[in-house]
Structures are given as structure tokens and as C-alpha cells.
Amino acid sequence: MAKRRSFREPVKERILTFASERFFQEGFSKVSVDDLASELVISKKTFYRFFGSKEDLLIQIMDRLVAGVRARFIKILDSDRDFVEKLAEVMTFLGQEVGRLGKPLQADLQRHAPDVWKRIENFRRERITQNFSLLLEQGMEEGFVRKDVNKKIALLSFLGAVENIIRPSVLVNESFSAREALQGIMAIFFHGILTEEAESKLNDIQDNRLSHSS
């Protein structure tokens, strides 16, 4: 159960934060406006003052999530770190974000809010195409990615793997989560195109992160 929000928070922010936790954990269809109003100790009239419907609330939650992902990507890519350090940060960040969207919510989005799911898929395609293209270019310039790698083929291959594996219809029948799927795809994909120096450095960074988190 998600925690109650502080009454000192602005009401709209309380609703957005609390509903995000509930939706991410339990899915969208199982949480009603009555549930949210009761848990937040507000009236339904107050809820509808900020959101036209539960679907409107969902859209605002996902728009906020997308904006946060976009801003974090920009911050990572604009930093002075080298390709491997940026790649490690992207892998960690994306794993965390994808892990927040549990299977119930992903299935709900595809079944009950297909327009919202389509927007997420379009955003995912856009970010992979733009951001990973920049990463690969930096990797090639710094000598971390093999020169014989065709960047276009590499991007399409990675995008195809993500789109065909990290989808509710696939994940519902598998034991691995969306986060585990993404980490597996990225590990297989990037370890296959890195030079020995880059692979060694990436392994060191990941081992160091694991040692600090345990």
C-alpha cells in the first residue's frame, strides 16, 4: 500500500504522487477515484477540480514521467564523462525507470489506455533513436566502439529488441520483469560491440556500483 501524503503538499501534487505509486504498483484499472479520494482524505469534487477523469490523471502522470526521463537523458548526454561512464549511467537509470512500471500497469495501459501506451512507445522509439545515436557516435570517436559497426543497423537492432521484448503481451508470459529484460538486452547488445578496453571499464564501473549498493 502506498504511503499517505503529507497534508502540507499542494493538493494536486499529493494526488499525482499518491496515484503514481498506486498505479505503478497495482495497475490503472484496479484503482478507482473513490479509492484515491478515500486514501487522500479529499472529496471527489476536489479530485475533479484538478483532473477531468481518472484517464486525465493517468495522462498527466505519464507526461510527468516522460518529462523526467527526457531531462535526465539530456543531463547525462551533456556531461563531460566519457562514453562508457555515460553508458553505465544510462543503463542504471533506464533500469530504475522501467522497473517502476510494473506488469499490471503495462498490461492496463495496452488494454485500457492504448493511446497512452502508444505515446510511450513513440517516446521510447524517439529517445532510443536520438540518444543512443549520440552515444554511439561518441563511443566511436573515443575508440570505445568498433569502427566496423554500422550505427544504423546497431540502432535498429537495439530498438527492435526493446520493442519486441519489453511489451505486456510478452512479459505476462515470462518470469523476468521489464527491468530485467532491458538490462539483459543492453548487456548483450553493448558487450557485443565494445572494444576490450571499454568492456573492461564498463565491468569495473558496474562491479563498483554493485559493491556500493549491497
Is 124 within 8 Å of 42 (Cβ atoms)?
no
Mean per-residue pLDDT over the chain, rounded: 86
Structurally, how many domains does the chain consist of? Answer: 2
Residue 129 lies in a domain: yes
The reply to whether 24 and 121 lie within a common domain is no
DSSP, residue by residue, 84-98: HHHHHHHHHHHHHHH
Residue 56 lies in a domain: no
The reply to whether 32 and 77 lie within a common domain is no
Q: What count of residues does the chain have?
A: 214
The reply to whether 138 and 183 lie within a common domain is yes
The reply to whether 143 and 99 lie within a common domain is yes
CA 113 to each of CA 54, 66, 92, 110, 119: distance values in angstroms, whole numbers, following the listed order: 11, 16, 28, 6, 10
- Residue 166 sits in which domain range? 66-213
Report the share of the chain in percent with pLDDT over 70: 95
Per-residue pLDDT averaged across 91-110, rounded?
81
The reply to whether 45 and 78 lie within a common domain is no
Q: How far is CA 193 from the centre of its chain?
A: 23
The cell numbers describing 167, all together, are 511489451
The reply to whether 101 and 143 lie within a common domain is yes
| CATH assignment of the domain containing 77 | 1.10.357.10
User: 125-145: per-residue pLDDT in tens?
Assistant: 888 888 889 999 999 999 999
The reply to whether 73 and 165 lie within a common domain is yes
Q: What pLDDT shows up at residue 140?
A: 93
Spatial separation of the C-alpha atoms in residues 44 and 39, rounded to whole Å = 12
Residue 57 lies in a domain: no
The reply to whether 95 and 152 lie within a common domain is yes
The reply to whether 182 and 108 lie within a common domain is yes
| CATH assignment of the domain containing 21 | 1.10.10.60
